[in-house]
Amino acid sequence: MARRLNGARSLRAMNDIEKGLRMLTLGLRRLAKDVTTIRETPAERLAPRRPVTRALRLQGRYMGLIRNLPARKKAQVMALRAERGVEKAIKMARELRA
Q: Which amino acid is at 45?
A: R
CB–CB of 58/30 below 8 Å? no
pLDDT in tens, 38-96: 665 566 566 778 899 999 999 999 999 999 999 999 999 999 999 999 999 999 999 99
Identify which has the larger pLDDT, 15 or 35.
15
pLDDT at 9: 87
51 DSSP 8-state letter: P
pLDDT at 49: 81
CA 37 to chain centroid: 22
pLDDT at 44: 58
Distances (CA, A) of 5 to 14, 16, 21, 41, 82: 12, 15, 22, 52, 81
pLDDT > 60? residue 1: no
CB–CB of 76/92 below 8 Å? yes
